[in-house]
Chain A
Amino acid sequence: MNAYRWADLAEGLSAEFEVELTRAMLDDFVQLSGDDNPLHTDDEFAKRAGFAGVVAHGMLTSALYSRLAGVHLPGKFCLLHGIDLEFVKPSFAGDRLRVSGKIIYLNQAYQRAEIKAQIQNGKGELISKAKIRVGLHEH
Chain B
Amino acid sequence: MPDILTQLQPIFRDVMDNPSLSVVRDSSAATVSGWDSLAHINLVSAIEQEFGIRFALGELEELKNVGEMIDLMEKKLATQ
**A110 touching B44, Cβ below 8 Å:** yes
Closest to A104 in B: B49
- Is B51 part of the binding interface, using a Cβ–Cβ cutoff of 8 Å? no
The secondary structure that dominates the B interface is helix
With contact pairs A108-B54, A109-B57, A109-B60 given, residues A114 and B38 touching in the complex (Cβ less than 8 Å): no
With contact pairs A109-B55, A110-B57 given, residues A81 and B48 touching in the complex (Cβ less than 8 Å): no
**B44 touching A107, Cβ below 8 Å:** yes
- Is B4 part of the binding interface, using a Cβ–Cβ cutoff of 8 Å? no
In the complex, what's the smallest C-beta–C-beta distance from B55 to chain A, in angstroms? 5
Q: How far is the CA of A112 from the CA of B37 in the complex (A)?
A: 13
- Among A83-116, those with CB < 8 Å from B are 105, 107-110, 112, 114
**A81 touching B38, Cβ below 8 Å:** yes
Q: Which residues of A approach B to under 8 Å, CB–CB?
A: 81, 105, 107-110, 112, 114, 133
Q: Which residues of B approach A to under 8 Å, CB–CB?
A: 38, 41-42, 44-45, 48-49, 54-57, 59-60
Beyond A107-B44, A109-B56, 13 additional contacts (C-beta under 8 Å) are A105-B49, A107-B45, A107-B48, A108-B54, A108-B56, A109-B44, A109-B55, A109-B60, A110-B41, A110-B44, A112-B41, A114-B45, A133-B42
